[in-house]
Amino acid sequence: MRALRLPRRILVFALAVLAVGPGCGRPGDGADIPQPVYSWLDRNVFQAKCLGCHATGNAAYGVDLSSYARLQVTGSVVAGDPARSTLYTQAFSGLMPKGAARLSDAEIEAIEAWIRAGAEDDTAVVVPAAAPVVSAVTPVSGPKNGGTTITLSGTGFSSGIAVSVGGSDCTGVMVSSAGTLSCVTPAHGAGVVDITVTNPDGQTGSLAGAFTYNDVVLATPTIGSVSPGSGTTAGGTALTVDGANFEAGATVILGGASCTGVTVVSATRITCTTPAHAAGAVDVRVANVSGQSGTLASGFTYAVSATFSSIFQNILQPKCNSCHAGNGAPKGVDYSTYAKTMSTGSVLAGNAASSKLYLRTIDGTMPKNASPLSAAEETTIQTWINNGALND
């Protein structure tokens, strides 16, 4: 008869339960069974078995396990990646605790599971965010057909906040800071209405009688087209906006940043120069001096240009340098400057097909633990390398 073989993790857990036995901890509370949470590991492993070498003032190799905060700053734990966490690898190999019995398999697996789950601190006190407060609105009135851009002042505004004016949704909400946001009023019957904001966590704040809809109708600007439809993240693209009901003095806003050199050519055309902005599609909004505004959703796309400065600003620095910068750069591949990028051998000027920087992005292995680069970003890197990988 073939012996039944159980998975190793089940055997480890079963042995841990048997080892506890009656009388260990409070009956039934599982106090001594290894748990993949910081509070258990700190109490039963770090404090009990590691502080002889890894405590404040006596931290071997600078690794201090006396508190969660000190543990995090040492770099011995890489959240989500046990294989790169020396806390786990040293315990697994039996090198830690030094001069003492190796941690049990269950304890080691608890450390691994805790790191893989994000290495969070379950002892931290979470303070609920305060509810948002609306203290003022500008302007305080507008026409009943809506289209008025209003600015709300207050506190506690979060990204993703919703704004209601008289029970209907304000559109194009843009949060400038925790104390300022703007949006465009919906149509509503004449009269005084309340404004209510709702954060993503469900908390709300209201200002009674905050806005008055006047019994008048003003022409709302509309945008039919934007040309060209894309430009570089550095800005400086000459833009033509065609539409209707543009007033003298109107402004043009792209993704929250104002166009410069605005010229209202006519009631149907405006020209301006794009500001700098991060890569991606943005809304284009025209705001008349009367307060009315119109928006073309995703009307303009900021693209990463095939230059090192643009690639560094939009790709390498925000998406790659968390791993590939400084002394901890894997295999010495450092993208923190142009000189270091070129000296690592990961970029072969004129040959993207043999350049690891390009190959590792298209196969999805880089950026590690992050979303893959877009096809447009990959093509930009490819073009820059094939054009000679020059430093602009």
Quick one: 281 exposed, middle or buried, by C-beta within 10 A (0-12, 13-18, 19+)? Answer: middle
Q: What is the mean pLDDT of the chain?
A: 85
| pLDDT bracket for residue 146 (50, 70, 90) | very high
The β-bridge relationship of strands 280-287 and 251-254 is antiparallel
d(CA 325, CA 316): 10
Q: How far is CA 48 from CA 41, 43, 66, 107, in A?
A: 9, 7, 11, 12
4-8, 96-100, 119-123: range with lowest mean pLDDT: 4-8
Look at residue 144 in the predicted model and tell me its pLDDT.
94
169-227, pLDDT tens digit by residue? Answer: 999 899 999 999 999 999 999 999 999 999 999 999 999 999 999 999 989 999 999 99
3-state helix vs strand vs coil in the chain, percent to 5: 25, 30, 45
d(CA 351, CA 212): 63
31-71, pLDDT tens digit by residue? Answer: 467 788 888 888 888 888 887 788 777 767 777 888 888 88
- Does the reported pTM lie above 0.85? no
Q: Is 82 helix (H, G, I), strand (E, B) or coil?
A: helix
